[in-house]
């Protein structure tokens, strides 16, 4: 009998140890195939992450084997640990029949981001939309909404941004210069005079009436619940930061220009110790280029340019990738993860992901390549 109770207590002890022991963190290997719960490479490119009630939701573009056009729609994957991902399917599918729909199959849907609105309890998705067979000319922003993070998202509308409205911080002098700029005087692109005119707002003025262009984009919710839309505007030459309405479904008209004529794409933003950090790329299509970084004490600026945050071999090409998001990992202290895409335009579905920890030296972020790392890299 005593032997029986002895064995029983050993069994109970072992059981309690195994229950309290955490599963070891799994490695993150950038550039490799990342299988989902069905063993299929995750298809969520140009993506972003939302953490909601203990689960991470990863939204991104579904890419097919032969084209970067939207054949399926916006995908969602969910995970508790950032390494095991369940395919939740196309949460905003393309429209298959209604040819008048903005999101008819064959359009371009890029860089979707989803944020949660605490007041309305809705999940709001914005993405870059190009109309079918119009190349990249439309440069529209589209919005969709859902009651659940896993959709279905209801498509609302698309358009250019803030028609008829100038940046709120434009000075009287800048306004006077803008009034003198004439498109017909700058027919030749890329000359010093043309750059100067772009800097002063030549394309801002060109698009004033119909609304500003928006291609690569990001969303950011600040500590006070206000949300911002950050996008490559003015033919990808100048970034804009625009405030969203309280329900996050439209723009308030308040916006600023960032790095005019600087040619920035792929903005990814995070906030640490009251400082806003933005990592961007240059504009070289699907080819990688050198990342850029900016910081500001307020979302409205002034924004200061820093050197490339990537260091070490291949850092001049962002390790072969292009920024898409920075995730602030809520369960860890000062844990910020840089997310980027390695595009594969010849077989878009084979595009890969780069996830690397953001490290800090004297408060300045930097990123170095790691073949393999785990989330234990960050302190609890
Ligand atoms: C680079 C952008 O960052 C991508 O999202 C995509 O728009 C490609 N350009 C298209 O060439």
63 CB near ligand 1 (under 6 Å): no
pLDDT at site 177: 98
341 CB near ligand 1 (under 6 Å): no
265 CB near ligand 1 (under 6 Å): yes
pLDDT at site 380: 73
pLDDT at site 17: 47
The model scores a pTM over 0.75: yes
Domains of the chain: 35-159 (2.115.10.20)
Residue 363 burial (10 A CB sphere; 0-12, 13-18, 19+): exposed
285 CB near ligand 1 (under 6 Å): yes
Q: Which H or E element spans position 144?
A: strand 140-146
**Mutation choice for ligand 1 from 322, 340, 345, 348, CB with most ligand atoms inside 8 A:** 322
Answer whether 94's CB lies under 8 Å from 70's CB.
yes
Which residues, listed in sequence order, are joined to residue 323 by a DSSP beta bridge? 340
β-strands 251-258, 227-233 pairing:
unpaired
pLDDT at site 178: 98
CA-wise closest residue to 267 among 244, 287, 241: 241
pLDDT at site 53: 98
Say if residue 152 is preceded by a cis peptide, omega within 30 of 0.
yes
288 CB near ligand 1 (under 6 Å): no
pLDDT in tens, 183-215: 999 999 999 999 999 999 999 999 999 999 999
DSSP letters for 168-186: TT--HHHHHHHHH--GGG-
Q: What residues in the chain have per-residue pLDDT under 50?
A: 1, 11, 17-19
Atom of ligand 1 nearest to the CA of 68: 10
pLDDT at site 5: 60
Output the residue whose Cα is nearest ligand 1's atom 1. 285
Q: Give residue 68 CA to ligand 1 midpoint distance, Å.
A: 10
**Mutation choice for ligand 1 from 74, 111, 287, 346, CB with most ligand atoms inside 8 A:** 111
286 CB near ligand 1 (under 6 Å): yes
pLDDT at site 207: 98
pLDDT at site 1: 46
The pair of structure tokens assigned to 186 is 């700058």
**Mutation choice for ligand 1 from 63, 68, 109, 110, CB with most ligand atoms inside 8 A:** 110
322 CB near ligand 1 (under 6 Å): yes
Q: At what angle do helices 172-180 and 192-200 cross, to 10 degrees?
A: 130
266 CB near ligand 1 (under 6 Å): yes
């Amino acid at each position: 009998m005593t032997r029986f109770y002895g064995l029983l207590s050993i069994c109970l002890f072992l059981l309690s140890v195994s229950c309290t022991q955490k599963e070891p963190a799994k490695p993150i290997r950038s550039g490799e195939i990342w299988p989902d719960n069905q063993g299929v490479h995750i298809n969520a490119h140009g993506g972003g992450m939302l953490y909601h009630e203990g689960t991470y939701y990863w939204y991104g573009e579904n890419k097919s084997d032969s084209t970067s056009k939207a054949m399926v729609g916006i995908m969602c994957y969910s995970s508790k640990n950032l390494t095991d991902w369940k395919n939740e399917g196309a949460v905003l599918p393309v429209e298959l029949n209604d040819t008048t729909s903005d999101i008819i199959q064959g359009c371009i849907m890029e860089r979707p981001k989803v944020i949660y609105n605490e007041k309305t309890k809705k999940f709001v998705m914005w993405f870059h939309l190009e109309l079918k067979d119009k190349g990249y000319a439309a440069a529209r922003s589209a919005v969709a909404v859902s009651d659940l993070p896993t959709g279905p998202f209801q498509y609302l509308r698309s358009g250019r941004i803030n028609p008829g409205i100038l940046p709120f911080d434009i000075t009287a002098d800048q306004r006077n210069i803008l009034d003198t700029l004439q498109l017909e005087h700058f027919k030749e692109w890329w000359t010093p005079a043309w750059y100067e005119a772009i800097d002063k707002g030549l394309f801002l003025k060109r698009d004033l009436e119909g609304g500003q262009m928006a291609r690569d984009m990001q969303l950011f919710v600040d500590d006070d619940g206000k949300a911002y839309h950050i996008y490559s505007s003015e033919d990808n030459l100048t970034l804009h930061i625009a405030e969203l309405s309280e329900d996050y479904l439209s723009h308030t008209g308040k916006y600023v220009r960032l790095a005019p004529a600087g040619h920035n794409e792929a903005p990814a933003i995070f906030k640490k110790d009251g400082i806003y950090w933005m990592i961007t790329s240059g504009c070289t299509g699907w080819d990688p280029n050198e990342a850029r970084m900016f910081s500001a004490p307020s979302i409205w600026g002034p924004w200061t340019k820093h050197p490339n945050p990537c260091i070490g071999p291949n850092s001049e090409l962002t390790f072969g990738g292009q920024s898409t998001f920075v995730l602030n990992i809520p369960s860890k202290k000062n844990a910020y993860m840089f997310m980027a895409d390695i595009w594969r335009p010849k077989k878009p579905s084979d595009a890969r992901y780069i996830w690397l920890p953001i490290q800090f030296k004297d408060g300045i972020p930097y990123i170095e390549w790691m073949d393999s790392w785990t989330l234990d890299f960050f302190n609890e």
